[in-house]
Structure formats: C-alpha cells, structure tokens
Amino acid sequence: MTRNLLVVLLGEASLSELRSAVEARADGVPNVHVVAPAHLGPLHWLATDEQAAREEASVRALEAEWILSGEAAVGGEAGEADPTLAVDDALRRFPAEEILLVGGGAADSSLQASLRRLGVPITWVGRSAAAGGNRSRLRDAVRGLASGRSRATPFVAFAGANLALLLIGLLITVVVALILWLTGLA
C-alpha cells in the first residue's frame, strides 16, 4: 500500500533521521512531499525581504528530496514562514495521510496544537515537541506579532513607528541644544 507522507523541515532538521523515518513507514514506495518553511527574521519581515529566506528554504527542500530520492516518490517546495500556513497550503495540493515534523529548533506545543486542527496525524521525527511554558508563550506571542497573525500587529507597528519618531525627535532636540550651548560659550 502506498502512503502519502508530508514532511515539514523545521529548524535544524536531521536528514538521516528523516530517511529512517520514511523507510520505517514504507510499505513499498511512499509518496513524499517535503515542505521547508522559510525562516524570516523580524527585520526581513518588516522590510518585506523574503526572497533570501525562500531561496534558503528551497535549498533545504531540494536537499531532503535528494536524500529521499531512493526510498520514495518525492517532491518538495519552500513554504510560508509560518509552519501551520505552510502545511495548510501543502495539504491543499497533496493529500497526506501523515505529517512528519523533522527538527525541533522551532517546534513547540502551540505548533503541534495548530497542526492537529488540520485533521492529519502528526509524528515528530528526532526531537520531541518542547513543553509549553511562559517562555514558549512569549515566543509564540512574538512570533505571532512578527508573522502578522496577531490582531495586535498593526497596533504594535504603529506604536513602534511613533516611538521611533519620538526618539529621533528627542535626539535632534538634544543635538540642537548641545550646538546652541556650545556656540553660546564660544
């Protein structure tokens, strides 16, 4: 029986663990679709400079395809920065029976919960999901703001821009006052 496996490469994915996980699930030659979510930093997101992150994700997906080419019928793609959106997009084109999450650098319990809502069984390959805690919640909140998923993103961006303008205005005022003070002494 041929299985459809959706592989999601998170963080520092171990491709050797991926190969053994796919081999363990194979009853023949499985169909595998690899998704590598792009890793966007806050500065790249704010500058809408996603091209380098997408290219890096494409390279990771191609590397996984190459590793799995002998064990499976495999295809792949770079995905959205948000792993949940990347998986949701991939599931629209690829009818997966199981999702394999590979790598644990960015894996946490909230990711696991959001992926479970998609209705496909999830298996962690390698490291297990991180336990949720205060640090995890803070990281999730910051990630939600940075990715634009949070309802507070526009307000935080507006407040941040105004704070930056206020600081620039204060800096200019201090420089002008310093120049006036120095010229008054000369």
Q: Which tokens hold the place of 160?
A: 């941040």
- Check pLDDT > 90 for residue 1: no
Beta strands in the chain (DSSP E): 4-9, 31-37, 73-79, 98-102, 122-125
- Confidence class for position 169, pLDDT limits 50, 70, 90: very high
Check residue 170 and give its pLDDT.
Answer: 97
What's the whole-number mean pLDDT along residues 62-86? 85
Check residue 129 and give its pLDDT.
Answer: 47
Phi/psi for 98 (5° steps) reads -155, 145
Q: What is the mean pLDDT of the chain?
A: 79
What's the whole-number mean pLDDT along residues 123-149? 65
Q: Which tokens hold the place of 45?
A: 């997101």
Check residue 166 and give its pLDDT.
Answer: 97
Return the CATH number of the domain spanning residue range 4-147.
3.40.50.620
Taking residue 91's Cβ as centre, other Cβ atoms within 10 Å add up to: 18
> What are the domain boundaries of the chain?
4-147, 154-186
- Nearest of 50, 51, 52, 102 to residue 76 by alpha carbon: 102
Rounded distance between C-alpha atoms, residue 125 and residue 63, angstroms: 17
pLDDT tens-digit map of 121-135: 888 876 554 444 556
Percent of the chain's residues with pLDDT above 70: 77
The residue type found at 19 is: R
pLDDT tens-digit map of 28-45: 778 889 998 887 766 555
4 burial (CB, 10 Å; 0-12 / 13-18 / 19+) is middle
Rounded distance between C-alpha atoms, residue 79 and residue 9, angstroms: 10
